[in-house]
Amino acid sequence: MFRACKLALIIATAAAAGSALIVPAVSGAQSEGDLRNQAGQERARERGLASDVARLGALVTKLDRDIAVIEQRRAEVQAQLNADRIKLATLREQLRAQRRRVVRLRARLREAQRILSSRLVELYQTQPPDLVTVILRAKGFADLLEQSTYVKAVGHQDQKIIDLVKAARVDAAKAVKRLAKDEARQEDITAAIEARRNALAGISASLQGRRAAVAQARAARAALLTATRARRQSLEKRIAALEAARARAASAGGPGGPWAIPWPIVQCESGGQNLPPNFAGASGYYQILPSTWRLFGGAGPAAWRASKAEQDRVASRIWAGGSGAHNWVCFALVT
């Protein structure tokens, strides 16, 4: 129950997340700061989606392994079931053969008993010869002994046949009982194995259904991840374009450029003019103080006395890729 609810929650979340693909386009009037904030949010969402995709992928892999194990067990049980069905069919055939044998032995016993009964009746109805007659009819003493022995042998043989048939019938009846019992036991075994086979098939079907649902959820998260990544890359391209435009404006944004620092700062400091020292002593295109000028290797006594190229060189060293922007008061005013 817990797994089913959890799986349903994952699928519902993926469906809800899919609706997030429909987002408004970024307005051209948005500032670079807004774009950076949105790009940061998209990166965070991208990391979360990548984690979800990886987790769901691992779950799909685990379900594949579980399904493989169940299918292997089901194949083994099916093989055992096939063997037991063959054994059950063999027992049933043996049982049918023994039952047919019982029928034949009963018929044979009835026939032997009928023959013996007929002989007994015939002997009863025939007058027994007296001793004198038997002696006179015999061709000799040997013939007399032979006739007596033959009569006794016939009687003994008939009884022996009856005894053998009776024993065979009893043996066949026992075999029928034994085989019937074996058949019942084998039917129970076969039914139990078939039930296990069906249970394993149900488990496999359930696992395959779960795998399909997880794979669907993973596909939805992967699609959302692709859209989020594309949106983040688009925002980063816009940011890069704004940064490039700002760099171009900084290098050649005003008259007399290119400039070593952003043009808005130059415009605020000197208006792009090589000004003489002000009340604080700052001079030149970049309004550099004499102490700062000397510190960063400027040639001459003051900035305004040097060429623009020299002032550009010193200003670039002071700027240091933006880390020295605090050296200009106007930086805080125009940014």
State the residue for tokens 């890069």: 240
Q: Is the pLDDT of residue 53 over 80?
A: yes
Q: How far is CA 153 from CA 114, 160, 170, in A?
A: 18, 10, 25
Position 28 pLDDT exceeds 50: no
The pTM for the full model equals 0.50
CA pair distance 31, 234, nearest whole angstrom: 15
Which of 214, 223, 218 is closest to 22 using CA atoms? 223
pLDDT of 169-188, one tens digit each? 787 778 788 888 888 888 89
CA-CA distances (angstroms) from residue 282 to 46, 124, 266, 297, 305?
Answer: 49, 163, 13, 16, 12
Q: Do 27 and 230 contact (CB within 8 A), yes or no?
A: no
Instruction: Report yes or no: 277 and 288 within 8 Å, Cβ to Cβ.
Output: no
Asked whether residue 258 carries a pLDDT value surpassing 90, the answer given is no
Please give the structure tokens belonging to residue 230.
């594309």
In this structure, what are the phi and psi dihedrals at residue 27, rounded to the nearest 5 degrees? Answer: -70, 140
Query: How far is 19 from 53, CA to CA, in rounded Å?
Result: 17
pLDDT of residue 16: 46
What is the band of 96 on the pLDDT scale with cuts at 50, 70, 90?
A: confident
- Average pLDDT of the chain is 80
For residue 299, pLDDT over 70 is answered with: yes
